[in-house]
Chains A and B, each alone.
Chain A
Amino acid sequence: MNPIYAWKVFYRNLRAWWKLGWAIIINALDPLIFLAAFGLGLGKLIGQVDGMPYLDYIAPAMVAIAALYGSFFETTYNAFVRMYYDRLYEAYLSTRVNLEELVIGEIAWGTFRGSVYALLVIIVLMAFQIISPPDGLVMLVLSIPVALNFSALGLLMSGVVPSITFFDYIYFVYISPMMLFSETYFPLKVLPDFLRPMVPIAFPLYHGVRTMRQFLMNGEIPLLHITPVLLSAIALTILSIMLMRRRLIK
């Protein structure tokens, strides 16, 4: 595994992405719309949650969701198109790039996109003085492991799904509930007893949200939450390599 070749895959994606122009920020609008709807709209009705204004409560979750969106959608739909329809992986693997480097390059690229989306949300939060610039910088750094985790998860899915439509099912069955139940819009304590212990196990986003929120609340980075995100990212990356190998080199 030579990281230079992973960078070359990353660089190709950067070049292609840059050519899209203004369209590159479109996906980041989604968390911003949720922020406006829930924070400014619903937030006025709710008042305070866990001792803080509702907008402040959901703001860190929106950063984590943006990291998820940018990375997961990049390594599912977009990566699948590159692999299956455009057959670019076949072309990369005809150069000096090997499979591990291809997978790492794609996961790194997904992580970058997730972090860029998180940054766009952070900029909006800073513009509305919901967070300070130094806090925004730390949150950007914290968004990287979150994006890495979902980037690896996305590529793993791309390694197994038979067709692109399966990503819709994954979104409805897993991603969408995760975005709703990971302490994003309401605290875990309001869930029924039997559901509560399942959330930290099933939904890695929960740990990302908790990490960001705890940092904003008391300035600490909770190892209890950031560690599982990192461990999960490593495990998912290894699994992605295995599954992509099975898919591409039969």
Chain B
Amino acid sequence: MMAGNRLPLYAIEIRNLHKWYGRNHVLRGVNLTIAHGEYVAILGPNGAGKTTLMKSIIGMARVQKGKIRVMDADVKSDIRKARSFMGIVHQENNLDIYLSVMENLMIYGYMLDLTKGEARKKAEELLEFMEIEKHLWNEKVENLSGGTKRKLMIARALLSEPPIVIMDEPTTGLDPSIRRILWDRLLSLKQKGKTLLLTTHYMEEAHYLSDRVVFMHGGRIIEDGPPDALIKKHLPPYALEISPPIEPGGRPHIYTGNSLIIYLRNPSEIEPPEGVSRFLLRRTTLEDAFLYLTGSRL
């Protein structure tokens, strides 16, 4: 696939990407590189630009300024080649409801240039890999549960064995048990050397799956690094949620509604004051780091 079988330096490389919708400047000079085999989560509140960034990478949003390369293909000038390296799972269900589970995979295998035999073999492998029960294989998609539909979308994205998997909020709206199963499946893809780029609203998901998280806010990347290192870089290890708020005393803190979160180096730094209705001590999370940096909830 690559010239001389040498991999390009990055699986995905984004340089100085800008995007405008009318006068709305939604991406403001995004620079991001993703190494081969790396799992990266993009986090940000609504309107941060993460979906636009994902759409730009897969060629569903026009690159107006800047450059995106997927493996050795430029997204703007050779989108077909760029897409040949990517398996894409969109945010919304876009399975073919008129067709059965197997037919969905066969038709998309056909659109991905697989022969009928290859498509059938890969489809069966992937349905087993995604733990979709055999009795559902000939079922119409509209009769499937939300979790099974999502599994099928992931199976479909893996049909052509792409080196890169792109997922826009892959587990939104799913119940926690299904979410865990999907996480497990996605992590097992890592052993196959896949690169994963996902957006999510769930901090826990980002922390669990990713080698690196990227915080986006206002169309910019404001922080980028391994989840634990990011937390450590910005905040002490303990978070104390207290309501009604007290004087934080020069410690890092954020206000969330009627509560205050104070970040502490030592869990016993503050004794419970009298008259508080909430006094909860816990470990600092990725969400704390995000809230502290942006002041926005995800």
User: Which A residues form the contact surface with B (CB < 8 A)?
Assistant: 5, 8-9, 11-12, 15-16, 19, 86-88, 90-98, 248-250
Q: Are B83 and A86 in contact (CB under 8 A)?
A: no
Question: Min CB distance, B15 to chain A, in Å?
Answer: 20
Q: Are B62 and A250 in contact (CB under 8 A)?
A: yes
Among A15, A88, A93, A250, the residue within 8 A (CB) of B103 is A15
Determine the distance from Cα of A248 to Cα of B90 in the docked complex, in whole angstroms: 14
Q: Are B98 and A95 in contact (CB under 8 A)?
A: no
- Kindly list chain B residues whose C-beta atoms are within 8 Å of the C-beta of A5: 111
- Kindly list chain B residues whose C-beta atoms are within 8 Å of the C-beta of A94: 58, 83, 86, 88, 90, 157
Determine the distance from Cα of A16 to Cα of B93 in the docked complex, in whole angstroms: 18
Determine the distance from Cα of A87 to Cα of B97 in the docked complex, in whole angstroms: 10
| Chain A residue nearest to B113 in the complex (CB) | A96
B60 at the interface (CB under 8 A from A): yes
Q: Are A16 and B112 in contact (CB under 8 A)?
A: no
User: Which B residues form the contact surface with A (CB < 8 A)?
Assistant: 21, 55, 58-62, 79-80, 83-84, 86, 88, 90, 92-99, 103, 107-108, 110-113, 156-157
| Chain B residue nearest to A98 in the complex (CB) | B80
Among B94, B103, B107, the residue within 8 A (CB) of A90 is B94
- Kindly list chain B residues whose C-beta atoms are within 8 Å of the C-beta of A92: 111
Q: Are B94 and A91 in contact (CB under 8 A)?
A: yes
A12-B107, A249-B61, A250-B62 known; A96 vs B84 contact (CB < 8 Å): yes
- Kindly list chain A residues whose C-beta atoms are within 8 Å of the C-beta of B55: 250
| Chain A residue nearest to B55 in the complex (CB) | A250
Question: Min CB distance, A111 to chain B, in Å?
Answer: 20
Question: Min CB distance, A118 to chain B, in Å?
Answer: 24
A249-B59, A249-B60 known; A16 vs B96 contact (CB < 8 Å): yes
| Chain B residue nearest to A89 in the complex (CB) | B94
Of B55, B58, B60, the most chain A CB neighbours within 10 A belong to B60
- Kindly list chain A residues whose C-beta atoms are within 8 Å of the C-beta of B98: 16, 19
Q: Are A97 and B60 in contact (CB under 8 A)?
A: no
Q: Are B60 and A90 in contact (CB under 8 A)?
A: yes
| Chain A residue nearest to B103 in the complex (CB) | A15
Question: Min CB distance, B93 to chain A, in Å?
Answer: 7
Determine the distance from Cα of A95 to Cα of B99 in the docked complex, in whole angstroms: 17
Q: Are A87 and B93 in contact (CB under 8 A)?
A: yes
| Chain A residue nearest to B79 in the complex (CB) | A98
Q: Are A93 and B59 in contact (CB under 8 A)?
A: yes
Determine the distance from Cα of A92 to Cα of B107 in the docked complex, in whole angstroms: 10
Q: Are A12 and B61 in contact (CB under 8 A)?
A: no
- Kindly list chain A residues whose C-beta atoms are within 8 Å of the C-beta of B107: 11-12, 15
